[in-house]
Structure 1
């Protein structure tokens, strides 16, 4: 009798897939996040890295700072749990930086591993999109013309 793909435990979500969630005021490590989502049953791992760019809305950015609400880590966990509920996640990690960042600095890293690549891509995209829209982290930009702007949840 042929096995259907869902018969194998590796095709299912892991029992404890949330491996790393943090909001930090120190530089972020791609290696740390990638290691956190390593799983022998995962056939696909998707990783997104958000960096500080030198422009926004047609204006040059000179400085950028992120700040977060005290509930941000709890909201990050809620977002991660929603992704885990919607996809067969083997492992998930998300870290966001707060404080003053320079152009080119890493602001956020998220990664998801799943049994297959399509699931990993979809889950990773859902994770970063929901983090940006639902986790109370704000961006304060200073432009080269002296103007400033606060951007909602990032």
Structure 2
């Protein structure tokens, strides 16, 4: 397992709680493994989703490792400085991605990006350290090779 970069964007105070429903996700992230919940019939679930929207099942989720490849669904650039949690002093991206597993996550990048992200861009997630916690971010160096709109 390679060491995670220190996050360029948020302060350690912004580290997520390691309580449920994120515990299994964060335990996997600590090992460099992207683990996400599925219903017992294999449909993707949100972290705190109690009932599958696709089949109505309400059994406890099954957590599985998923590939880190994703597609950008939406992207904005945030021009807000929030000194309590954000250490970046430049505008930063907030990006919704859909993983090949069907899960959607809101992420940023593992470092300040040179280019903006467009809907349809293919990206790969990696992990950065925020305090004692690892969280997923888009791996910037993968971005330039996989542009959809340019």
Mark the structure with the bigger radius of gyration: 1
- Superposition TM-score, scaled by structure 2 size: 0.27
The structure with the greater share of residues assigned to strand is 1
Greater RCO, CA 8 A, separation 6+: 1
- Superposition TM-score, scaled by structure 1 size: 0.26
